[in-house]
Amino acid sequence: MTQPPRSSIDDAEVAKFQAMAAEWWDPAGKFRPLHMLNPVRLDYIAAQIAAEFGRDRRSLRPFEGLRLLDIGCGGGLVAEPMARLGAGVTGADAAEGNIAVARIHAAQSGLDIDYRATTAEALLAGGERFDVVLALEIVEHVADPADFIATCARLLRPGGLLVASTLNRTPQSFAAAILGAEWVMRWLPRGTHDWRRFIRPDELAAMLQAAGLGVVDSAGMVFNPLAWGWSLSARDLSVNYLMTAVRGPGMGAAG
């Protein structure tokens, strides 16, 4: 008897975001921090893809011909811009409510995005492979981060690119993401994040390397309360950060 693929899904974490699904596209709602953060992380992701695949970002659809997976896509805040840049986008999320919202918004925007209520493990079991895998603000919410990263790595074609973003486990991140975002500003419901599940850059790098990927870049995303906006930093990874890794040509199909 064939066993179902093992899942890294944490049902309690999925339920949190399922409850907020209808607010994904409200820039003043519960996902306001992501709307504010989105331009910076999109710029980073686009720069990494363009550099790895030799694409000209000034062209109309620079990522034409690339197959991209946004795992934990939510309502499609990243999937939609990637589709506009020409990538063939698959958006996957374990919360069916998120996928329902994403499908409606994509249809209203005239975008053809393959949204699926599924998991990384199920996609891998189905033989799916991608040029780019995005795992944004999801690693800290899965049951087994190392196993999840290994699955994402195996979803990449040889030469493929994985971009992950998460929160560092530091006093600064506790102050910003939990005390600030949840308790003071009330941008997110209390309990959205668990500081103990945050992942240090050296820990994430070790997971990527253990999965057979080579880390090629990292950057922090820093919030400036005076300018009321985000910027990238090559040095300050103390709160939010991104990391890019590449799958080498010699990595076998089994990982």
CB 214 within 8 A of CB 207: no
Q: Distances in Å between the alpha carbon of 206 and those of 150, 183, 190, 209, 212? A: 11, 32, 30, 5, 10
CB 45 within 8 A of CB 63: no
Confirm or deny that 74 is annotated as ligand binding.
Answer: no
Structure tokens at 180: 């600030």
CB 155 within 8 A of CB 184: no
β-strands 114-116, 130-136 pairing: unpaired
Confirm or deny that 136 is annotated as ligand binding.
Answer: yes
Q: Which helix (H) or strand (E) holds 207?
A: helix 201-210
Q: How far apart are the first and last CA of the chain?
A: 24
Confirm or deny that 93 is annotated as ligand binding.
Answer: yes
Binding site listing for S-adenosyl-L-methionine? 41, 72, 93, 136
Binding site listing? 41, 72, 93, 136
